[in-house]
Each structure stands twice: as structure tokens, then as C-alpha cells.
Chain A
């Protein structure tokens, strides 16, 4: 497991009161019952931890992230973009 993956699990587990054992790459966000305020807190924690900006709008009616793996990949991408910039 990469440190990014591990850190993302830590953040999601802490902010949404989801059992860390439930957090796998394949875990569907919808199944984890993460509430809307939890999502913005998770994004904030991710931004703080990795020093990135996550361009997220709560009004987007298309779901960008389906699984926890999608979130991890998106964060890794933002980190890569930042370090290569």
C-alpha cells in the first residue's frame, strides 16, 4: 500500500466515522454512507495533508468518484501535477 493510499484511508476513516477495515480500493463511496459535510471535510483534510487543491463542486450532478480507489488515484494525480509544475 502506498503512503498516499494509507493516508487517504486514515482521512476518510477519521472524518466519516467509517471503520478503517471497510476501506479498500474497491469500496463504493455510496455504500460507506458518507454525508455531504463529511465529503467537504475529507477534501479539506486531503488538501491540507498533500498541499494540493481539489477542484470539487458539491453541485456537480455527475459523480466523479465512485470508489475509494478513484479518490486515491485523483489525489495521486494532483500530487504528481503539483510536483511536476
Chain B
């Protein structure tokens, strides 16, 4: 069994189109949730979200490539470029075949889907663009990342709604740990701010009217975000052999299914995923200094997650550690969330700082842990976990620890 380390980070998010800007925004607790401009919101009750600003696809992709890329794939390719450059890995020769690519997404090419339906049903046109299917398929982002960089080993998309990228990274971790591959390019992406999709989210009645205020009293729900994050995982041996810079070590992965409700979270399922991650990592609850929460800002999740933390870690450990939700900053990036949040966790460990939960207004008695409200705090983080608890009760938790050599 190999030890697995993270050697490259890449993001393309509403909070930043590269890691330094992204991390600064998250550290500062500067929420980028605001009025949406990339779609017409006149038909929507929910008009807020976290959108990527200042991104011109034509400036980043040649025309021929762009024609094949739904926005969700564009974001993944952008994030992967940064991650791979950052890692300094090459996929030439055998290396490509011994590398995996697992990219999570909840719904894939929503923009393409929405536009195609509009053409047929609203405009009454007789046909759609020939690239419609290759653009909207859930695996498109994974395929394009492979094509961009020459990754030729095991590769597929992973889907579990809000847990997609955590599951993707977890499976990639398994592959490197087992020696199936020595390198993995993994993460997730989502770009589902389209009219039809927003209508769907409005209908479930969990969207915030003001902004996303995880763990706060009187929070009104979640805010959608778009974005992608990609990390490069390698076996420790390989990373050391090539003198790679090592950010942190992924030491455990826990998964569970609630088998209860299709939207509401279950405290037992969430707790089991966390316990599973710790057990897999060989860590005890008191070893964990920081939890990057799923923290969507809904009444249901935040209370359930708090209770699950107490159940999984025990009251003493739960009360000593710090928990924060990055969704307060960059919204809920669905299939991209887990990967973005893992990067936050890794950088928190690197810089010895607890990123805050933004937009925190008032303490909710039912959420009674330390959520690092509004301002970052210094703390040496020995180990951390990053939680994802999806619709459909599919839970995934990654355990990450400081790498000191």
C-alpha cells in the first residue's frame, strides 16, 4: 500500500480563477455570492449565486476545441491546467498509461442541455447542434482533461450530486494507494447556472433569499455556485523520486449511504462516513484540528452535520476542533464542491490557518460548535477532514494530514 500525497492544485471558481486568488478570498471570508448576471433572472425568484466573473472562453480555447466544450468541461480543463503545471508532472510515454483521471460532476452539461431543449421546444427548430451529446454527457469533462494532458490510464466521471468530487478524489486515492496507478488527476466540476436548472432548484424550496449563512440562526438556505477544482495525487515514492513539492497527505476516505430520504440528511449516515474516514486513516478524533464542513446553510444540513460531528468524534473532540463552511464564500458548487473544499483544507494545513465561515450573523443554539465566524484564525492543523453529504444520502469524507517528511 502506497502513501498518497497531493502535489498539484488547480481551481477555476467564483472565488478565484487561480489558487492564490481563490485562497486569499476564502481566507478573508469574502463571500462572492451576489446577484447573477450570466443569465437573465427576470423569470426567477432566486436571483443570487456565485458566478465566475471575467472569464472569456474564446481567449482560453481555440475555436475548434471550444465548440466541443460545455461550460462544465471548460472549467475543468482550466482547473486541470493549473494543477498539472503546479505539480510539474508529465504524462509522456508510460507515465500517461499509469495515470488515472477521475472527475466528478452532478449533472454535466446543463448549459448545452438547456439550450438544446430551448431550440426544440421554444423555438420549434427541427434539429440541434451535432455536438450536443458529446458536450452534455457527464464524462465530457473527464475526457477533455485526459485529451488536454495525455492521461491514458483508468478514467471516468463520478456522480453523487454534492459529493461527486469527494467520491472522485477518494476513488483516485484508492487507485494510487493500491498501486493501480502512480498518479491521478482528480477533482470535480459544475456549471449549472442555467434558467431551467435554476427553476429546478427554486422548486425544492431550499434556496436562500439573502445569502448563504451556514450555521447561523435564521439562515435561509443554500446558494448555488459554479466552479471546478482539480488536484494531482501521487504515490509518496514517486513524488519523492522526482523531487515534487508535497502539499499534504491524503490518509483516509470514508463513504456511506443514508438509505433514508432522497433529500434530507441523516445523522447516522453522515457520522458513519466520518468514522470510516478516520478509521481508514488510522486517526483518532482528538487528532483532528479542523473540519471543512458540508455546511450548505440549510436548516436541515447544518443541524444534522453538527450532531453527526458530535456522534462521530465524541463531544470532547468535537468541541475542541474548528469547523467552517467554505460554501459561505463560493456557494454550493455541487459536483465541484468537494474538490474546491479539499483544496481549502489542504491550504489551511499548509498555512496553519483556519478559514472562516462567512456571513455569520447570530449563533443558532442547535449549532453549538466553533464555526470560526467571519474571521480566519491561526492554528497548526495536524489533520483535518472534509465532508460532503449529498442529496440522496450519499456521503463521502476525506481525511488529510500535514506532511512533514
Binding site for B on A (CB under 8 A): 36-37, 40, 43-44, 53, 55-61
Contacts and interface: CB of A to CB of B under 8 A. Distances in A.
A59 B298 contact: yes
B292 interface: no
Contacts of A36: 261, 263-264
Contact of B221 (A43, A53, A55, A59): A59
B218 A57 contact: no
A59 B264 contact: no
Contacts of B204: 40, 58
A57 B263 contact: no
B220 A60 contact: yes
Q: Summarize A's interface: helix, strand, loop or mixed.
A: loop
A44 B203 contact: yes
B203 A59 contact: no
Given A40-B204, A43-B205, A59 B219 contact: yes
A57 B220 contact: yes
A60 B209 CA distance: 11
Q: Summarize B's interface: helix, strand, loop or mixed.
A: loop
B299 A59 contact: yes
Contacts of B206: 57-59
B299 A58 contact: yes
A27 B334 CA distance: 39
Interface in B174-232: 203-209, 218-221
A40 B262 CA distance: 13
Contacts of B262: 37
Nearest to A41: B203
Contacts of A43: 205
Contacts of B298: 58-59
A44 B220 CA distance: 20
A58 B203 CA distance: 11
11 contacts: A36-B261, A36-B264, A37-B261, A40-B204, A56-B205, A58-B206, A58-B298, A59-B220, A59-B221, A59-B298, A61-B299
Nearest to B208: A59
- Minimum-distance CB pairs A-B, first 8: A59-B299, A59-B221, A58-B205, A59-B220, A58-B206, A40-B205, A59-B298, A56-B205
A37 B299 contact: no
Nearest to A62: B218
Nearest to B364: A61
A57 B221 contact: yes
